[in-house]
């Protein structure tokens, strides 16, 4: 491991009073985690700040005092110190920063000091430059970070300066500088050629033409830069309009849904009202319907009574006929009448006689023909009515449930659309059209300009060759021309290398980011990877290749994406530094947190994890137990208002 | 057939006023007489005797009952009196009213026991179930 921490010492630094030391074991792949447990306010962030202070001396004078432990300050003088022993590029480094506070009059005066030893040898010049090369200040966000930093990064992808910082981490500017130096050398040599030719007093025309072409190209470069800026500005506006348009489309869809749901609601309410009406009618008529049994008996009896005179004669005939049968031994069907048949005939004769000799019903108790007709009508009406109230009741309950569901949907949609009542739909679509056309025009202008630039460069190269030939005619000129040729070839090679390096690094980061992201995300079957664009903005893509819009990612997903990129970036740098993560899981759900924890042992660097109990609960700690090389616990001595770091013995 | 006098008022027992008010207020029944009439039909089906001693509380004129229901109740009341051997209790329109309300009160008290702890929709469901079990459909 070319970069690893060995010992961190703190003296009167923030919450740590007195001297505190953390000794790190040697890095071992797969067993790379150093966990420092501590509750909020106990001093985890003080450790992060100590490392930031060491590698990037960014504290102001006021912050020196703020960083000096409160207890120590009471002494009136003394010093704070942060020291780190570490291996960098195979060399043993000792870096110490100290702020000495000396009494002066009524107060104190601070004096900062820094000491760097490499392989035991004290560095005496350009110390800060050497430190900056180890972890460039711009790259700190990718090495020392906390949960808040990840959240910030998740939102600042497009911020200015991020691209430069990323390229710095990747070591690209160093190679670009070489290319720029070569370009400057070429210009110097060409100027020397021009001077030689001018001294010869010849070829004024050729030099004039070269001069003219160069100034033309300078003009084109300025125009091109403006056009690119214009293109980017239009693209920015267009992106925003696209987002607005897609939001409007979504809102329009939801408006339509709301309108459909309201219409459906009205239909359901109408249906429910009809069902309730039928149920209420049934309930209202229930007393009558429930009397269907007695009523049918009444109607039958009364009908018999109404027809009593005619019936009596008929019944008398029937009695005579039955008595005749009883007198004979055989039935009309010629069969013998047994005792059962005889009993049945006697019973029927009795029933008929009871009716024949029954006393007439009192006037008040009998029904009139009209009343009987009405009662028969009521009975017939009941018998033909559909009295299945239960299924009606069930249906009404179904409709009520549907209404409740639809009401929930309506409330949700109304709340969602509440703030979007005044969206200027037409305006957004019109603007999008205009800007799209502007973008097309600008792109066409750029293509045209590039073709002009290309032609001018060809012309310039041709004139340059003429100049080379003319300048090579003298001994001095020949030397210059030869050097120029070699320099140009080197420039071309370096330029090609720079382009390839940028491309390769981006591909490396893209692959690493994708591996880390897909191993952490809780949608591994949906998300297939991450595209890293030319400007280092990120885009998650699905298995079918479609891009997930950044706005569609949840806050947790954005943070996992940012974390994946940050770690991939550090690992892609020429000399990956140890990671120092301070409570990085603040916003993550348990699924993402588990995924992230699982990914840590796979990082091929030391990882210093500063965690609260919530970041690393016991059951999750157990899952990464084999990857933990060391554990420390921060304890707070509340009475003395200082914190101490203890090594946890397993 | 004897008919109810439209100038007479149906009545319920004092102790059932609270219950009938509750059921009309929560919308189980539109009117208190609807509960009384249902009580009557329930009591007839259950072959119950009319209530005996109670303090009466007048409800509504008999003319408030729709004609079909009134005619059915009148006919059934007189038939039921005969069935129970109480023909002498329905000789006059006043007696007929007393008989119908007495039976109705008994029925409502039974229903009150049956519906104890039940809410509006459960009671309505029970009525529809009764209807389904009694009617030929």
pLDDT in tens, A578-599: 888 887 776 678 888 888 888 8
pLDDT of amino acid A10: 95
Contact A387 B76 (CB under 8 A): no
* A110 touching chain B per CB within 8 A: no
* A358 touching chain B per CB within 8 A: no
Mean predicted confidence (pLDDT) in A434-462: 92
Rounded to a whole number of angstroms, the distance from the CA of A308 to the nearest CA of chain B is: 17
Residue of A nearest to B36 (CA): A287
Contact A288 B69 (CB under 8 A): yes
Mean predicted confidence (pLDDT) in A193-212: 76
pLDDT of amino acid A374: 87
To test the contact with chain B by mutation, choose from A275, A279, A288 the residue with the greatest count of B C-beta atoms within 10 A, namely: A288
Mean predicted confidence (pLDDT) in A140-166: 63
Q: What is the 3-state secondary structure (H, E, C) of A566-604?
A: HHHHHHHCCCCCCEEEECCCCCCCHHHHHHHHHHHHHCC
Q: Given a cut of 90, is residue A23 above it in pLDDT?
A: yes
A-facing residues of B in 33-52 (CB < 8 A) are 34, 37-38, 40-42, 44-45
Angle between helix axes A147-155 and A555-572 (nearest 10 degrees) is 100
Q: Given a cut of 80, is residue B85 above it in pLDDT?
A: yes
Q: Which residues of B touch A297 (CB under 8 A)?
A: 79
pLDDT of amino acid A423: 54
* B94 touching chain A per CB within 8 A: no
pLDDT of amino acid A421: 55
* B131 touching chain A per CB within 8 A: yes
Identify whether the C-beta of residue B101 lies closer than 8 Å to the C-beta of residue B59. no
Q: Which residues of B touch A291 (CB under 8 A)?
A: 41, 44-45, 72-73, 76
Mean predicted confidence (pLDDT) in A88-94: 92
Contact A287 B38 (CB under 8 A): yes
pLDDT of amino acid A164: 72
* A384 touching chain B per CB within 8 A: no
> Which range has the top average pLDDT, A419-423, B50-54, B103-107?
B103-107
pLDDT grade, residue A361 (50/70/90)? low
pLDDT of amino acid A358: 66
CA distances from A244 to A164, A413, A432 (A): 30, 19, 10
Lowest-confidence region among A4-13, A328-337, A397-406: A328-337
Mean predicted confidence (pLDDT) in A445-453: 93
Pick from A282, A291, A365: CB nearest B78: A365
pLDDT of amino acid A192: 84
Q: What is the DSSP letter of A625?
A: G
CA distance A509 to A445: 33
Contact B30 A293 (CB under 8 A): no
Contact A367 B75 (CB under 8 A): yes
Q: Given a cut of 70, is residue A333 above it in pLDDT?
A: no
Q: Given a cut of 70, is residue A494 above it in pLDDT?
A: yes
- Dump pLDDT digits (tens) for A217-253: 999 999 999 999 999 899 888 888 887 777 777 788 8
pLDDT grade, residue A153 (50/70/90)? low
Copy the structure tokens of residue A500.
């390839």
Residue of B nearest to A382 (CA): B135
pLDDT of amino acid A159: 52
Q: Comparing C-alpha atoms, which of A563, A573, A633 is closest to residue A600?
A: A563
pLDDT of amino acid B60: 87
Q: Given a cut of 90, is residue A618 above it in pLDDT?
A: no
Residue, of A468 and A112, whose pLDDT is higher: A112
Q: Given a cut of 70, is residue A476 above it in pLDDT?
A: yes
pLDDT of amino acid A499: 86
pLDDT of amino acid A34: 94
Percent of chain A whose pLDDT exceeds 70: 91
To test the contact with chain A by mutation, choose from B35, B71, B72, B111 the residue with the greatest count of A C-beta atoms within 10 A, namely: B72
* B71 touching chain A per CB within 8 A: yes
Contact B76 A291 (CB under 8 A): yes
Pick from A287, A298, A387: CB nearest B40: A287
Buried b (16+ CB within 10 A) or exposed e, A284-303: bbbbbbbbbebbbebbeebe
Q: How many pairs of residues across A and B have Cβ atoms under 8 Å apart?
A: 112
Contact A375 B71 (CB under 8 A): yes
pLDDT grade, residue A27 (50/70/90)? confident
* A226 touching chain B per CB within 8 A: no
* A541 touching chain B per CB within 8 A: no
- Whether the pTM exceeds 0.80: the reply is no
Identify whether the C-beta of residue A371 lies closer than 8 Å to the C-beta of residue A295. no
Contact A287 B128 (CB under 8 A): no
Residue, of A207 and A12, whose pLDDT is higher: A12
- Dump pLDDT digits (tens) for A247-292: 777 788 888 889 999 999 999 999 999 988 888 888 889 999 999 8
Report the run of H or E that residue A391 belongs to, with start and end.
Answer: helix A389-417
Mean predicted confidence (pLDDT) in A437-453: 93
* A366 touching chain B per CB within 8 A: yes
Contact A294 B134 (CB under 8 A): no
Contact B41 A287 (CB under 8 A): yes
CA distance A458 to A336: 137
* A387 touching chain B per CB within 8 A: yes
* B2 touching chain A per CB within 8 A: yes
The residues with which A101 forms a beta bridge, in sequence order, are A78, A110
């Amino acid at each position: 491991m070319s970069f690893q921490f060995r010992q961190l010492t703190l003296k009167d630094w923030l919450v740590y009073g007195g001297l505190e030391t953390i000794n790190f074991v040697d890095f071992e792949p797969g067993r790379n985690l150093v966990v420092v447990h501590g509750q909020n306010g106990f001093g985890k962030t003080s450790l992060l700040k100590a490392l930031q202070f060491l590698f990037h001396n960014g504290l102001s004078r006021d912050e020196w005092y703020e960083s000096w432990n409160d207890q120590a300050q009471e002494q009136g003088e003394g010093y704070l110190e942060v020291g780190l022993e570490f291996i960098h590029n195979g060399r043993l480094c000792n870096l110490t920063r100290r702020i000495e506070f000396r009494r002066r009059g009524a107060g104190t005066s601070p004096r900062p000091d820094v000491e760097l030893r490499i392989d035991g040898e004290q560095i005496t010049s350009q110390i800060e430059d050497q430190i900056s090369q180890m972890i460039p200040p711009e790259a700190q966000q990718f090495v020392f970070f906390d949960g808040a930093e990840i959240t910030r990064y998740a939102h600042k992808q497009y911020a200015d300066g991020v691209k430069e910082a990323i390229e710095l981490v990747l070591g690209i500017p160093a190679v670009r500088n070489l290319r720029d130096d070569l370009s400057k050398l070429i210009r110097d040599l060409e100027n020397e050629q021009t001077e030689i030719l001018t001294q010869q007093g010849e070829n004024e025309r050729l030099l004039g033409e070269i001069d003219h072409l160069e100034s033309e190209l300078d003009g084109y470069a300025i125009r091109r830069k403006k056009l690119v800026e214009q293109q980017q500005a239009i693209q920015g506006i267009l992106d925003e309009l696209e987002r607005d348009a897609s939001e409007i489309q979504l809102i329009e869809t939801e408006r339509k849904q709301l309108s459909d749901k309201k219409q459906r609601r009205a239909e359901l309410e109408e249906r429910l009202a009809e069902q309730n009406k039928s149920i209420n009618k049934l309930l209202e008529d229930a007393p009558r319907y429930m009397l269907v049994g007695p009523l049918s008996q009444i109607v039958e009896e009364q009908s018999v009574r109404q027809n009593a005179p005619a019936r009596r004669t008929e019944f008398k005939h029937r009695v005579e006929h039955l008595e005749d049968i009883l007198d004979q031994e055989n039935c009309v069907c010629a069969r013998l009448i047994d005792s059962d048949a005889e009993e049945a005939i006697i019973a029927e004769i009795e029933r008929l006689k009871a009716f024949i000799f029954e006393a007439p019903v009192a006037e008040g108790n009998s029904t009139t023909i009209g009343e009987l007709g009405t009662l028969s009508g009521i009975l017939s009406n009941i018998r033909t009515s559909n009295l299945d109230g239960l299924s009606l009741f069930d249906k009404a309950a179904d409709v009520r449930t549907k209404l409740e569901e639809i009401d929930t949907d309506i409330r949700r949609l109304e709340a969602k659309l509440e703030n979007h009542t005044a969206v200027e739909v037409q305006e957004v679509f019109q603007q999008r059209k205009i800007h799209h056309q502007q973008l097309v025009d600008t792109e066409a202008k750029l293509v045209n300009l590039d073709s002009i630039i290309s032609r001018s460069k060809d012309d310039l190269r041709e004139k340059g060759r003429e100049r080379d030939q003319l300048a090579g005619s003298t001994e001095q000129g020949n030397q210059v021309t030869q050097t120029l040729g070699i320099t140009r070839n080197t420039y071309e090679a370096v330029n090609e290398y720079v382009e390839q390096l940028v491309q390769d690094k981006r591909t490396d980061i893209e692959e690493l980011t994708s591996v880390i992201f897909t191993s952490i995300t809780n949608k591994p079957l949906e998300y297939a990877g991450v595209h890293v664009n030319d400007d280092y903005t990120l885009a998650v893509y699905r298995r079918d290749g479609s891009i997930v819009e950044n706005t569609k990612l949840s806050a947790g997903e954005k943070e996992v994406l940012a974390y994946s990129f940050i770690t991939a970036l550090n690992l892609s740098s020429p000399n990956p530094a140890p990671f120092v993560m301070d409570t990085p899981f603040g916003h993550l759900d348990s699924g993402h947190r588990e995924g992230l924890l699982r990914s840590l042992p796979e990082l091929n660097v030391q990882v210093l994890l500063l965690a609260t109990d919530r970041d690393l609960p016991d059951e999750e700690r157990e899952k990464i137990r084999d990857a933990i090389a060391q554990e420390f616990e921060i304890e707070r001595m509340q009475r003395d208002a200082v914190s101490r770091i203890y090594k946890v013995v397993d | 057939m004897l008919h109810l006098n439209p100038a007479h008022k149906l009545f319920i027992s004092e102790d059932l006023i609270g219950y009938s008010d509750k059921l009309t207020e929560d919308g189980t029944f539109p009117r208190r007489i609807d509960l009384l009439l249902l009580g009557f039909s329930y009591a007839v089906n259950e072959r119950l005797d009319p209530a005996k001693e109670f303090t009466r509380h007048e409800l509504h004129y008999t003319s408030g009952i729709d004609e079909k229901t009134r005619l059915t109740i009148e006919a059934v009341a007189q038939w039921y009196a005969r069935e129970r051997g109480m023909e002498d209790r329905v000789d006059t329109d006043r007696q007929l009213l007393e008989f119908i309300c007495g039976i109705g009160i008994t029925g409502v008290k039974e229903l009150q026991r049956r519906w104890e702890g039940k809410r509006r929709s459960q009671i309505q469901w029970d009525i529809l179930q009764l209807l389904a079990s009694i009617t030929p459909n």
